[in-house]
Amino acid sequence: MNDEQRTQPDDVPHQQSETRPEHGEGPVQPCQWPVAAVAGGGAAPPPAVFRELRERFPDLPLTEQTTADGIPTAWIPREQTAQVLRYLGREAAEPFAMLYDLGGVDERERLHREGMPDAAFSVFYHLVSYSRNADVRLKVALPEERPEVDSVAGIWPAAGWYERELWDMFGVGVAGHPQLKRLLNPPWWDGHPLRKEHPSRGTEYGPFEMSEDVFDEMQEQLRFKPEEWGLPRTEDDPTLMYLNIGPQHGATHGPFRVVVGLRDEEIVHLVPDIGYHHRGSEKMAERQSWHTYIPYTDRVDYLGGVTNNLPYVLSVEKLCGIEVPERAQLVRILLCEAFRIASHLVFYGTFAQDIGALSPVFYMFEDRERLFDDVIEPITGGRMHPNWFRIGGLAEDLPTGWKQPVLDYLDYLPARLDEYDRLVMDNRIMKARTVGVSAITVDEAVAWGLTGPMLRAAGLPWDWRKQRPYSHYDWFEFDVPVGTTGDAYDRAAVHVEEMRQSLRIMRQVVEAMPDGPYKAFHPLTTPPAKEPHTMHDIESLITHFLGVTWGPVVPPGEACIYTEGTKGQYSYYTISDGATSPYRVKIRTASFPHLQVLPKLCTGYEIADLVTVLGSIDFVMADVDK
């Protein structure tokens, strides 16, 4: 099967067609495969940011690449990377202050590389500018032997972990990185997993053995050695105590390890260690078909359910040029907002519990249970991981009688939220524990790549649902709650208010829900109808057969669509090489940078504040480790 998946779509019957199927036409549209070259942007004028770069660096060889998502994308030579990125990130007027994503691609097996420079590996830098509401993706081509880029951690502190991940996953060196160690894989790991030659399932290895020696060596490598992190040893500084917290600890919300250097109870050093929840979600994408990867996305932010499906299916739809019917889009919003509430309720309860309040978590789980029972389960049939969105629409239509339970829940929750305000947010001990703890400014938050409630709590009213509406979010009225100081209290307060706004959106969606198909009648997502096509026409029959056996063959291209997930900004940077499975999927999750900033947030505070901060960040380890 694996070999078959690798075959190229040239075997697939192509039919040239100029007309894109439009929604509402019903299942009688002819079966067509879109032309590969059509998918992706047209011939637009060069983006402003590239004009700016050419003015600033007249000799810069800038190889532009057209991508399906329309994000300005260009290849720059490796030698000038640091210079160009420094200009964009720091020196430019209205700089690209956020390093949104950074990752690698193994280009060696990629067939459709028209117009791109030769490369064995490439590294992409995805930058976002809030002041311009614009983004840019710069790529660097690297050779097979000793690939290396320069560190950009000096420009964006957020780059630290992304560069370690790059080294870990691709073996791409990062010159000038202070601690270039493995991040997600254990230090003894052999090979770089996201390289194409690395095995992707256990049966590709020999039988598993672990001798006593290896076991002891692995244990020894887990021992915290401060000198490896540039920290003083306790022998040299007797007033210092290193305390290992995790990976199994009640406050870490999953397998997360953090080593704190304490002086009395004050945190003077803090070293987070992640990777204990790493499951290789990105590697798995490369061997799943486009559709069968959707359930894996559910489990990335496992509290977010379908909100994880959305950025993935949006990207694939963009690659395929699928227009999703209105009804499907609104159901998506409805479910996403329901899951936002479910996720925030977990946040709210565990936040209170981390500060020592025992009871609230039970109330909030009760509310979440109702949401699952009354809204999510009747519609999707699933609870936490419903695997409900499909490329081009939804798995099924809304069930009969879905409306009243949703409206009942919308009436039920606000009173409960008001009560929790009195119990939790107005509590004086709660305020004493959270107000002023680990405050962060907007500039710092942006530089560290914080998004979602973390960014809004710092004071920037930025919500992708407002700024770049997707799935018709612009049809609905809602406010974007912001904090002022970005401290733990503000972060919690923003979460709480977002639940109210989600309820508002849900009510409007319920009222506005149009009739119509729940999925697009696009040949890449819906098999041709049996009558009058499949049963009479051999081409349709072949297409039908391929569609249900292989799944769709997505045209070559690249797309990355942002969504405002439960915890921040999410995207699946999806690269198709015209095959039945993705060539590369880079998952950008919100929790990853949110946890990276922990040393900055906690240093100078007490050990009890570490727990407060962890509670206020709203991270999920599966979301961090992927």
Partner 1 sequence: MAWYWQLLIVLGVLIAALTIAAGLIWYERRLLSLVQDRYGPNRVGPAGLLQVLADTVKIIFKEDWVPPFADRRVFVVAPSLVLITALLSFMVVPVAEGWVVIDLDIGLLFILAMSSLAVYSVVLAGWSSRSKYSLVGGLRAAAQMVSYEVFMGLSLIGVVALAGSFDLGDIVEAQEGLWYVVPQFVGFVVFLVAGLAETRRIPFDLTEAESELVAGYHTEYSGMKFGLFLVGEYVAITLFSALIATLFFGGWLGPWLPGVVWFLIKTFIFITLFILIRGTFPRPRYDQLMALGWKAMLPLSLLNLLITGAIVVARAG
Query: Is 250 near partner 1 (CB under 8 A)?
Result: yes
Q: Which is nearer to partner 1, 353 or 540 (CB)?
A: 353
Question: Shortest gap between Cβ of 211 and partner 1 (angstroms)?
Answer: 25
- Alpha-carbon distance 626 to 620, whole Å? 10
CB contact at 8 A, 472 and 333: yes
Say how far apart CA 358 and CA 414 lie, in whole Å.
Answer: 22
Give the residue, chosen from 76, 99, 174, 251, that forms a contact with partner 1 under the rule CB under 8 A. Answer: 251
Give the x/- contact pattern for partner 1 in 64-93, rule: CB under 8 A. ------------------------------
Residue 603 within binding range of partner 1, rule CB under 8 A:
no
198 CB-near residues (< 8 Å, 6+ apart) = 191, 192, 283
Residue among 87, 121, 290, 363 that touches partner 1 (CB under 8 A)? 363
Q: Is 609 in the site for partner 1 (CB under 8 A)?
A: yes
Among 91, 265, 411, 474, binds partner 1 (CB under 8 A): 265
Q: Which residues pair with 216 in a beta bridge?
A: none
Task: Choose between 368 and 385: whose C-beta lies nearer to partner 1.
Answer: 368
362 binds partner 1 per the rule CB under 8 A: yes
**Distance of alpha carbon 336 from alpha carbon 565, whole angstroms:** 8
Could you tell me which stretch among 39-47, 164-172, 240-248, 399-407 binds partner 1 (CB under 8 A)? 240-248
Q: Assign 122 to helix, strand or coil.
A: strand
User: Can you read off the two tokens belonging to residue 121?
Assistant: 């590996």
- State the angle between helix axes of 607-617 and 326-354 in degrees (0 to 180), rounded to the nearest 10: 170
Q: Is the Cβ of residue 316 or residue 439 nearer to partner 1 in the bound state? A: 439
The one among 259, 338, 488, 610 contacting partner 1 by CB under 8 A = 610
For 340-374, b where at least 16 C-beta lie within 10 A, e where not — what string?
bbbbbbbbbbbbbbbbebeebbebbeebbebbbeb
Distances (CA, A) of 242 to 182, 268, 437: 22, 10, 22
Q: Which CB sits closer to partner 1, 186 or 250?
A: 250
Contact present, 85 and 62 (Cβ < 8 Å): no
Amino acid at 610: L
CB of 222 to partner 1, least distance (A): 16
Token pair, residue 117, equals 């420079």
Q: Is 222 in the site for partner 1 (CB under 8 A)?
A: no
Regarding 533 and contact with partner 1 (CB under 8 A), the answer is no
Length of the chain: 626
Q: How deeply is 330 buried, as exposed, middle or buried, from its count of CB atoms within 10 A (0-12, 13-18, 19+)?
A: buried
Does 608 interact with partner 1 (rule: CB under 8 A)? yes
- The conformational region for residue 31 under phi > 0 = left, psi -120 to 50 = alpha, else beta, is beta
- Return d(Cα 180, Cα 163) in angstroms, integer: 8
Q: Which of 73, 308, 353, 580 is the binder for partner 1 (CB under 8 A)? A: 353
Residue 607 CB, nearest distance to partner 1 (Å)? Answer: 6
Q: How far is the CB of 145 from partner 1 (least distance, A)?
A: 46
CB 104 within 8 A of CB 164: no
430 binds partner 1 (CB under 8 A): yes
Task: Decide: is 356 part of the binding site for partner 1 (CB under 8 A).
Answer: yes
Q: Which of 210, 358, 415, 548 binds partner 1 (CB under 8 A)?
A: 358
Q: Is 601 in the site for partner 1 (CB under 8 A)?
A: no
Instruction: Give the nearer residue to partner 1 in terms of CB position, either 58 or 238.
Output: 238
| Contact range with partner 1 by CB under 8 A, out of 157-165, 309-317, 527-535, 601-609 | 601-609
Q: Please identify, using beta-carbon distances, which residue of 358 and 538 lies nearer to partner 1.
A: 358
Closest CA to 311 of 582, 562, 599, 617: 562
Residue closer to partner 1 by CB (options 177, 257) is 257
Q: How far is the CB of 342 from partner 1 (least distance, A)?
A: 17
CB of 248 to partner 1, least distance (A): 10
Shorter beta-carbon distance to partner 1: residue 251 or 454:
251
How far apart CA 474 and CA 478 sit, in angstroms, is 9
Residue window 367-406: x/- pattern of binding to partner 1, with contact defined by CB under 8 A: ----------------------------------------
Q: Which of 328, 352, 460, 494 binds partner 1 (CB under 8 A)?
A: 352
**Shortest gap between Cβ of 353 and partner 1 (angstroms)?**
7
Q: Is 433 in the site for partner 1 (CB under 8 A)?
A: yes
Residue 443, Cβ neighbours under 10 Å: how many? 11
Quick check: helix, strand or coil at residue 191?
coil
Q: Does 427 bind partner 1 (CB under 8 A)?
A: yes
User: 389: which strand partners?
Assistant: 394
If one asks whether residue 419 binds partner 1 (CB under 8 A), the answer comes out as no
Single-letter residue type at 210: M
CA distances to 281, 305, 312, 416, 458 from 297, in Å: 8, 8, 8, 31, 29
Give residues in contact with partner 1 (CB under 8 A).
Answer: 241, 243-244, 249-251, 265, 352-359, 362-363, 366, 423-424, 427, 429-430, 432-433, 606-611, 615
